[in-house]
Amino acid sequence: MDLFLQQSANALALGGTYALLALGLAVVFSIMGLINFAHGELMTIAGYALMYCGLAGLPFVLSVPVAIAASMVAAVLMERIAFRPVRNGSGATMLITSFAVAMILQVLFQNLISPRSQVVQIPGFLSESVVIGGLVIGVNKIVAIVATVIMLLFLDRFMNHQKTGIAMRAAAEDFAVARLMGIRANTVIAGAFALSGLLAGVAAVLWVSQRGSVDPLMGFTPVLKAFIAAILGGLGSLRGAVAGGFALGFIEVYLAAFLPPELQEFRDPIGLGIVVMVLLFRPNGLIPSSVLKAVKV
């Protein structure tokens, strides 16, 4: 029982990171219909910002907001420079653009910084563990869970009570009608990218806090998992992104903990198989977007 609770805490921490990344993807997709595969590079930018802040001697508590701000600024610039000129193009055009942006940034990271993994200075207390009711839980896991809860509460309040958030929800429902009602497209889309940058920055801090390093491809794997989580939860659905992120986190951690040793090498295919089985019964995801509820598969 203790092992089960221990792994559940680990799953909450991992699933929370996936949920934040999946939310960032879902926010942009719900408004623009774009899967931004350069989202992972926003994580990497935040990671490098943490690294340089540490090298400059800035305290970690100040480095975190700087890293998150760097991710948000990069997201807004990405939208303005790369995506706005092709906004009226086809979905394939925007998808290829996102791949191009991701590859360009990866090459810049490799050539301007380093192709190798770089150490990030992390406070010692994040590597410690605490005992809660007989369970030994890493402080970084607790921080990840608490940060995820805070971010989800903030996002819920922002989307339901703030003018910009309400405008984003309206645009997600019907962008054309929202524009006719006076909502400015540039403002809403830039806000969506800034929000995705905020979520990517927070996820990057949590990810780096557990790894202690950053490299040019750091964001690739977690964002790929977040994409799977977004589909599992319901692409374009914000609540679905959260549900899919946590579901994928639990699947991965439980398989790593309880799968027999002789099957551990097949852990990833088995996990993807479970996701496919869920989608067979819920083709539009666990919590489908309202736009997709009427779609028959």
Mean pLDDT over each residue of the chain, to the nearest integer: 86
- Rounded CA separation 66/51 (Å): 11
In the chain, domain spans: 1-293
Stated pTM of the model: 0.89
DSSP conformation class of 234: -
**Sequential DSSP letters for 23-78:** HHHHHHHHHH----TTHHHHHHHHHHHHHHHHHTT--HHHHHHHHHHHHHHHHHHH
| Cβ atoms 197, 76 nearer than 8 A | yes
Phi, psi dihedrals of residue 200, rounded to the nearest 5°: -65, -40
Q: Could you tell me the sign of the dihedral formed by the alpha carbons of 244, 246, 252, 258, in that order?
A: negative
| pLDDT beyond 50 at 53 | yes
Phi, psi dihedrals of residue 119, rounded to the nearest 5°: -75, 135
Strand segments, DSSP code E, in 133-259 are 135-138, 213-214
- Rounded CA separation 229/71 (Å): 21
The 10s digit of each residue's pLDDT in 74-123 is 999 999 999 888 887 777 888 899 999 999 999 999 999 988 999 998 88
* Residue range 1-293, CATH number: 1.10.3470
The 10s digit of each residue's pLDDT in 195-218 is 999 999 999 999 998 888 999 999
Angle between helices 39-55 and 91-112 (to 10 degrees): 20
Average pLDDT over residues 31-40: 86
Question: Residue 296: its pLDDT value, please?
Answer: 37
Q: What stretch of H or E contains 130?
A: strand 129-132
| pLDDT beyond 60 at 294 | no
